[in-house]
């Protein structure tokens, strides 16, 4: 579960992260995208390998990060539900679903 989120930082358990992260079960992976504020298929390979039911993208405090249509289409083809929200909303949604369904969260922490 995510303990807290504020611009530029997210606390998961007892650890604070100041870089974008992917939460996949017990694994937390620091995450950088090839195109910065755009999420392409190469950026989500680790998510696809985990075979989640749902992926929640946190697009930043102001929603600047964009999940490209090719990513949403590929997840749909694989039967994976995609939810795209500003990060504070994505954190809330992730915590609601955590432990109830196989959910992965990918969070942009700044803009």
- Spell out the residues 6+ positions from residue 6 whose beta carbon is closer than 8 angstroms to its own: none
- Report if pTM > 0.85: yes
CA distance 72 to 41: 9
Per-residue pLDDT of 63-101, as tens digits, reads 999 999 999 999 999 999 999 999 999 999 999 999 999
**Which pLDDT value is given to residue 28?**
97
Give pairs for 8-17: CB < 8 Å, separation 24+. 8/109, 8/110, 9/109, 10/91, 10/107, 10/109, 17/109
Pair 16, 98: CB distance under 8 Å = no
For residue 84 the two structure tokens come to: 């795209």
Kindly compute the dihedral angle of the four CA atoms of residues 10, 13, 16, 22, in this order, to the nearest 10 degrees.
-60
**Which pLDDT value is given to residue 10?**
98
Instruction: Taking residues 27-39, report their average pLDDT.
Output: 94
Pair 22, 28: CB distance under 8 Å = yes
The percentage of residues in the chain with a pLDDT greater than 70, rounded to a whole number, is: 100
- Give all domains of the chain, ordered by start, each with its CATH number: 2-107 (3.40.1230.10)
Per-residue pLDDT of 50-61, as tens digits, reads 999 999 999 999
Q: How confident is the model at residue 13 (pLDDT cuts 50, 70, 90)?
A: very high
């Amino acid at each position: 579960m995510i303990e807290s989120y504020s611009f530029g930082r997210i606390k998961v358990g007892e650890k604070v992260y100041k870089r974008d992260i992917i939460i996949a079960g017990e694994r937390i992976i620091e995450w950088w995208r090839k195109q910065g504020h755009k999420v392409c298929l190469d950026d989500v390979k680790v998510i696809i390998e985990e075979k989640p039911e749902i992926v929640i993208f946190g697009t930043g405090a102001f929603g600047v990060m964009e999940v490209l249509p090719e990513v949403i289409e590929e997840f749909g083809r694989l039967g994976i539900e995609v939810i795209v929200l500003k990060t504070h909303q994505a954190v809330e949604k992730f915590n609601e679903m955590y432990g109830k369904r196989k959910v992965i969260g990918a969070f942009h922490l700044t803009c």
